[in-house]
Amino acid sequence: MRIVGLTGGIASGKSTVSNHFKSHGVPVVDADVVARNVLTKGTAGWKKVVAAFGDEILLDNGEVNRPRLGQIVFSDPNKRQFLNRLLAPYISRGIFWEVLKLWIKGYKVIVLDVPLLFEAKIDRFTKPVVVVWVDPETQIQRLLARDRSSEEDARNRVNAQMPLDVKKAKADIVIDNTGSFDDLIQQFQKVLVEVTRPLSWTEFCLSRQGVFTIVTSVASSVFLFVKVKAFSNHTITS
């Protein structure tokens, strides 16, 4: 099984690339979706966060007011790190189960869409790692246009994340999204060909089909060995 790591930064275009993988039949495990499920009212993650940040982060229906929580943690590095540590076990567990379900279904290539891929050290389990990159100013301008937030808030959000230049240096594949949408699509098509190439022997062995093949081969070898041994014993004693 090939697990492709996909990451980027806020307003870098990562979600667009993620959606294109989905539209081309490549399943995507989205860490943001997992995180939203972790914060659903009544879950263990929800209880931890409410206990730590208080009822002020809740909407009238009891669900977490994610924009409000974001304002709190993006303006305070200590609170942001605390929130990440608080939710990390729940999110990691959720990602694992989503990957396992896709493995059981027999998918050979999946994409892990994780904003904190490097920070959470999940990149160790993915190959290749794809980074969607833009320069900081482009990132801020797109964020302002998308969220209509203040420039201060936009810069706080960008600065709260690992710089995209650092992620770019760690990547196996870089998609430069500073150009047009057509430029992005052209780069994506090349990346799609790369990540869907035939599996290596190691990757195949980690897939469901590979495990089934190995187990079947071992079982057949054991069965054949037992039959040959039984035949030999019969020949000797007859």
Q: Write out pLDDT tens, residues 114-140.
A: 999 999 899 999 999 999 999 999 999
pTM: 0.84
The DSSP symbol for 5 reads: E
Reported as type and span, the H/E element at residue 140 is helix 136-147
> What digits encode the pLDDT tens for the residues 21-64?
999 999 999 999 999 999 999 999 999 999 999 999 999 999 99
The string of DSSP codes covering 160-207 is TSPPHHHHHHH-SEEEE-SS-HHHHHHHHHHHHHHHTSPPPHHHHHHS
Residue 152 has pLDDT above 90, yes or no: no
CA–CA distances in Å: residue 224 to residues 30, 39, 180, 234, 235 = 45, 53, 61, 15, 16
Local structure of 148: helix, strand or coil: coil
What is residue 149's predicted lDDT score, i.e. its pLDDT? 80
> Nearest CA to 181 among 17, 6, 25, 21?
17
